[in-house]
Structures are given as structure tokens and as C-alpha cells.
Structure 1
Amino acid sequence: MPVISAPEDFNVDDLYVDLQWISGRPLHLKCEGFNFAGSIKLKAAAEMIARAERSGELRPGDGLVESSSGNMGVAISLLAGSKGYRFTCVTDSRCTLGARRLMEALGTEVHVITEPHPEDGLLGARIRHVKRLVAERPGHVWLNQYLNPGNWLAHFQTTGPEVLKSFPELDVVFVGAGTTGTLMGTARYLRHTKPSVRIVAVDSVGSVTFGTPPGPRSIPGLGTGVRPQILDESYVDDVVHVAEPDTLRTCRALADRGFLFGGSTGTVVSGAVSWLERHGRTDGMTAVAIAPDLGDRYLDTIYNDQWVEEIYGAGVLDHTARDTGVPSLPSRGTP
């Protein structure tokens, strides 16, 4: 019987969902949302704060400042409350209402940026706001997840080893690319311990992370408007870009089977299915995709028909499986 004294002490690290029914090929989804922060970001947040404490940069009574589209902000909010730090999260208008309310419930001061930077978009505007806050508020520390090595080190120490422990014969792993902390840590570990594993990064269309042109994005999580400084593309074998309508349809397909995942997870699964289809004979391949989040914070967006139609237009969910790479699903109740 687990008994914990701090919320960060609990995390489920060995739960996988068999997705052969959606991919048509063997594919296992590593579920990272079963902790008190509700996402994989708790791992990185804990490591970054611990590093700041060990170095003396962060002291009792100090405040934390970070830019986040939602999940990292929630994770830091939880840890700040647990450890007694003040926290100000700088987010933008794409952050879901659920994530904002959760951060505020945990005592976080939330600043919402609505005007994008002319070159670096909303992320660039958020980072500039963070720098102003730190300059104006003595005793406040910016963890800077886009540069902090603790972001990827957390996954080098945990996520990578967890995947390989569960699947020693691993052939390919699909990892979403946001700040690229999960991607870099997992990829570094696997490259050093099992170099034959193929690392496939999954990004959003409109993200500049891998040098593609910027474009509008409405789903928070994966993708960036400013290339993350911790990214090292030498650890990445392939990149798959997923359009947001495909993310929506994949999330809805998973929900039809009772699996309510978040936007980042829908993107990763869509990218994994697309990659496996393009690479033909993969039946004997051991493939794992990492699911960063659950879907409860997306009830007012991805799972809200009105929001979907307002952003993407009527009929976006009616496209055939051929458009998305997601196989057609039987209706509920059909064996």
C-alpha cells in the first residue's frame, strides 16, 4: 500500500495501452498522466527545481517564474505548493481553461499573453514577459525549461530506462517534441544503451522546432514558435509533422474506445500511426509511443464540438480514416 507525504512521490511509470486496434500494427502507448500533476511534465519540473535547490539558486521563500502552455505550469504549481515557493506562470490564450483554473487552485499567479511577438509568436512574447518579471522581482528564479538541462536529464534518468525495461527488444520509439526535454532525455538514454533503436520525433504542423515554416496552432503542448535551445537533432532519426485536425480525429477515436487523452498524446499517436504505415512491413517491430497527458483539461477544446467547428470549420471531424492514417472504428458496442 503506497503511503506518500508529498504529491510528487507518486507516479505510475509502467502502464501501457495496446494500440494495435487503431494502428493496425503492434504499437504500445506509455501512459504518463497518472500522477497528481496529470502529465509527464512532473518529472522534468521536479528535476529542474531540485537542481536549482542543490545549486543554491533557489532558496526558501523565493519565487518561481516559468513560461508554459499548460502542463509544465500545472506541474510546477503542484511542486511550488508542496515546497512552499511562490509561482508565477506566464501562459498564452491557447492554454486551456481547465489548466489555468487548476494552476490558480494550487495558488499560482497566472499571466495570460494575448499578443504574439511579430517574429517569435506567442512563445516569444511569453519569454520576454518572463524576463521582465524576473528583472522586476528580486528573489524570483526562472527555471527556463527551454534551456535547463534538468528538463532532459529527468527523462534520461526515468522515461528512457522505463521504456527499455518494459520492452528490451524495442525497435522504434515515438516522442512528442515540445520543449524537447522528453525527446532529448529519452533519445540520449536509448542512443547510449541500445543504439539500434530508431528515435522518431513527432511535431505539430506550424511549429518551427525542426526548421519548418511557422503557422497558426491552437492546441497547446507540442510545437514551438522558438526553437528550443536544448534540442540536438543528432539524436533524432526521423521527424513526423501532424496537422491539428489529425490530432483532433485521433483524440476522438481514442475517446470512442474509452481512452480520454490530451492533445499532445493525440498528436504522438497520429504521428506514430502515420510513420508505421509509411514504413510498410512493421508487424514484427516493437514500437512504443509516449503519451504525455490525459484529456480532462481539453474538455472545453478538443472534446468540445463548438470549439472545434469555430477553430477548424464544420465537418473537420467527418473526414475519412484515409485522410488521417487512423483506421475506421466500429461503433460503440460492436465487438
Structure 2
Amino acid sequence: MHPHCADAIADPDPIQVEPGVVCLRFEVMKVRSALGAVRHLVESGLVRRGDTLVDSSSGLYAHALALACHRYGMRCHIVGSTTVDRTLRLQLEILGATLEQVRPSADLKLDQNLRVHRVGELLLRNPRYHWMRQYHDGVHYLGYRGVAETVDADLPSGPLTIVGGVGTGASTGALATYLRRAGRDVELVGLQPFGSVTFGAEHTADPDMIIAGIGSSIEFRNVRHDLYDRMHWMAFPYARAGAIGLLRRSGVFAGLSSGAAYLVARHERALHPGRTVVFLAPDTGHRYVDAAYVGHEDVPAVDGLAPRVVGGVDELELPWSTLPLEQLARAAS
């Protein structure tokens, strides 16, 4: 029996959606990260029961941190993006977390900068607040050790390819790190939106981009560039097609980054049929019903979608580009 809801939803369900392609389906993936981080802080004495933990979030981490704080008796304050919707706001309120949202902005960089600036103001006024630093603190890698153990135990013993959104780097980076330490042959393939600075695509832009959680307009120090073997950049229309295709073919109802990861996983499996490809589905599709699923009958099938292989980030083009291994160092420099 689980002692708390957070423990119940922290672990993913591995689902084989196609031969050699496995979906690691989470309800709220960052619960695993937040639980591991808060548990470590409590056990190490860095925070005490009743302290306030604060951070910035565009949605998923807000929910995850609120649940982890509820689990361990901490207070929680979130500086949220405008993407935090009514459903999540109500859950945060009932869980006892406080939320303040920055002013609306169509610019991702401005939105993230506003949130980070506000966190800084709060810390100056409240020196006993503990900033979780989900973008920068390696403590967020710890929670994924158990996920790596699940993957190692449940999947075939051969070589693995892990596919997922880069985001803060914790989920994909941690999985690859722990699986490699366990002796697995692991390739790590990252996914970014156009416009993300993390691997040098800030000169590009996707006018419909609403999958900000897998990229960044500011530097995330939690991303360890040397862990990744290949990188894909994908625009909203293809991520949308991937999400609808995933639901249609497997019954997995997931978000836009999951749809993008599904397309990348299919591509990687076709290139390397001897490897089992595991892709991360970090959340369910409920937040994306209006933005992605309405009008599904007009969305193209996934079978005809493929990336443009480029030789450097200066050659990136929408809707989907991929950078080979030997060129990746140029993107990270």
C-alpha cells in the first residue's frame, strides 16, 4: 500500500506501443524528481518540516513539488507561468500550496525571466525560503534512480536507446547515467523545441510552440551536454501529429512532448532495429485537448513524417531536424 498519492503516481508504466518501441508513461513525471529532491533535503537536514520550498514552474513541476511538500509536511510556493490552468490552480490551492502567476507574455524568454526574477525577489524578502532550483540543482537527478532500476529490470538485456525531452536535463540525463552505471549499453537521444538555447537553437523560432517544458530560453545548468548522443528539434504540428498518432495506435493519451518523443523513437528504431527504444511520456493529454486533440481528423498520419538531417545548428529547419552524433559537440559549444 502506498503511504501517499505522490508515491503512487511517481513510477511509470512501461508500455510496448510497437515492436521494439516502449513508452515509459507517467501521470506526472516530475513527481519522481520532486520526491527524490525533497526527501534528500529532509534527510540531510537542509530543510525542516514546515519550511517553505519555492520554485518557478510552467505547470508540471508545480504539481509535483506541491505533492512532495504535502507528502513531507512542507510549505510550497510556486511562481507560475500563465500556462498553469484552472484545474492545476485548484489542486495547488487544496494541497496547501500558494501560487502567483507572472503577467501574460507571448515570449517564452520573457516569461521564464519574469518567473526567475520574481523568485529572486521572494528569496531576498524571505531568507528562510528554500529555492528548489529545479533548473540548476543536481539533487533532481536522484529521484530517477528507481525509474532506471525499473527499466533495467523490465526491458530486454540488449542495447537501449532513451528518447525524451531535454528540459531541465534531470529525467533523460539521470536515466542514462544510472543505466550506464548499471552496465547497460545506452544511447541518449534528446528532444528540443525550436528556439531553445540549450543546444544552440535560439536563432530559430516556432510560432505555435507551446511545449516549453522540453526546452529553455535561459541556461539550465542541470543539463549535462556530454550525456547526449543525438539531438532532435521538433515543431508543434509534428508534435501534435505524434500525440494523436500515439493515442490512435496504442491508446496512450499523452501530452505534446510525448507525441514528439514518439515520432523520434519510431525514427530511431527504424535506423537501429537492434536496439530497444524507450521514450518518455511525462504527462497525460488532458491539458492539451483544445490545443492538440480538437480537429484530430485533419492531422497527417505519422508514417510520412521524417526529420531533416543537418550538419550543424545553423542548418536547423522546421518542422523537424536532427543533428548526428559527430556534430553534437558543435551544438553544445
User: Alpha-carbon deviation of 1:197?
Assistant: 1.8
**Residue 155 of structure 2 is aligned to residue 163 of structure 1:** no
Among 230, 238, 244, which residue is 1:238 paired with?
230
Cα 1:59/1:300, change in 2 over 3 Å: farther
User: Which range is displaced more, 123-132 or 109-118?
Assistant: 109-118
Distance in 1 separating the partners of 2:198 and 2:22? 26
User: Alpha-carbon deviation of 1:190?
Assistant: 2.5
User: Alpha-carbon deviation of 1:290?
Assistant: 1.9
Q: TM-score, normalised by structure 2?
A: 0.81
1:246-267 per-residue CA deviation (whole Å, 9 max, x = no partner) reads 1111112223343211222122
Q: Say whether the 8 Å CA contact 2:135–2:221 is kept in structure 1.
A: yes
Q: What letter corresponds to residue 180 of structure 1 in structure 2?
A: G
Cα 1:172/1:301, change in 2 over 3 Å: same
1:150-175 per-residue CA deviation (whole Å, 9 max, x = no partner) reads 211222x2222221211221331212
Distance in 2 separating the partners of 1:195 and 1:84? 37
Distance in 2 separating the partners of 1:320 and 1:302? 14
**Which residue number in structure 2 is paired with residue 27 of structure 1?**
21
**Which residue number in structure 1 is paired with residue 123 of structure 2?**
134
Q: What letter corresponds to residue 227 of structure 2 in structure 1?
A: Y
Q: What letter corresponds to residue 27 of structure 1 in structure 2?
A: V
**Which residue number in structure 2 is paired with residue 264 of structure 1?**
257
Give structure 1 stretches of 5+ with no counterpart: 34-38, 309-314, 327-335
Residues 1-335 of structure 1: matches in 2 within 5 Å?
3-11=1-9, 13=11, 15-20=13-18, 26-33=20-27, 39-114=28-103, 120-155=109-144, 157-167=145-155, 168-194=157-183, 196-213=185-202, 215-216=205-206, 217-257=209-249, 258-277=251-270, 279=271, 282-305=272-295, 317-321=298-302, 324-325=305-306
Q: Say whether the 8 Å CA contact 2:193–2:211 is kept in structure 1.
A: no
User: Alpha-carbon deviation of 1:304?
Assistant: 4.1
Q: Say whether the 8 Å CA contact 2:159–2:274 is kept in structure 1.
A: no
Give structure 2 stretches of 5+ with no counterpart: 308-333
State the secondary structure of the residue aligned to 1:302. helix
Q: What letter corresponds to residue 264 of structure 2 in structure 1?
A: G
User: Alpha-carbon deviation of 1:45?
Assistant: 0.3
Cα 1:195/1:284, change in 2 over 3 Å: closer
Cα 1:121/1:272, change in 2 over 3 Å: farther
Q: What letter corresponds to residue 301 of structure 1 in structure 2?
A: A
User: Alpha-carbon deviation of 1:299?
Assistant: 3.0
Q: Say whether the 8 Å CA contact 1:116–1:124 is kept in structure 2.
A: no
Distance in 2 separating the partners of 1:151 and 1:12? 14
Distance in 1 separating the partners of 2:151 and 2:59? 25
- Amino-acid identity (%): 24
**Which residue number in structure 1 is paired with residue 329 of structure 2?**
none
Cα 1:187/1:88, change in 2 over 3 Å: same
Q: What letter corresponds to residue 32 of structure 1 in structure 2?
A: F
State the secondary structure of the residue aligned to 1:19. strand
Distance in 2 separating the partners of 1:51 and 1:183? 20
Q: Say whether the 8 Å CA contact 1:210–1:227 is kept in structure 2.
A: no
Distance in 1 separating the partners of 2:86 and 2:195? 23
User: Which range is displaced more, 102-111 or 142-151?
Assistant: 102-111
User: Alpha-carbon deviation of 1:118?
Assistant: 8.3
Q: Say whether the 8 Å CA contact 2:30–2:60 is kept in structure 1.
A: yes
Q: Say whether the 8 Å CA contact 1:98–1:298 is kept in structure 2.
A: no
RMSD value, Cα: 2.7
Cα 1:109/1:303, change in 2 over 3 Å: farther
Q: What letter corresponds to residue 55 of structure 1 in structure 2?
A: S
State the secondary structure of the residue aligned to 2:116. helix
State the secondary structure of the residue aligned to 2:292. coil
Cα 1:14/1:321, change in 2 over 3 Å: closer
Q: TM-score, normalised by structure 1?
A: 0.81
State the secondary structure of the residue aligned to 2:257. helix
Q: Provide the aligned length of Structure 1 versus Structure 2.
A: 302
Distance in 1 separating the partners of 2:287 and 2:90? 10
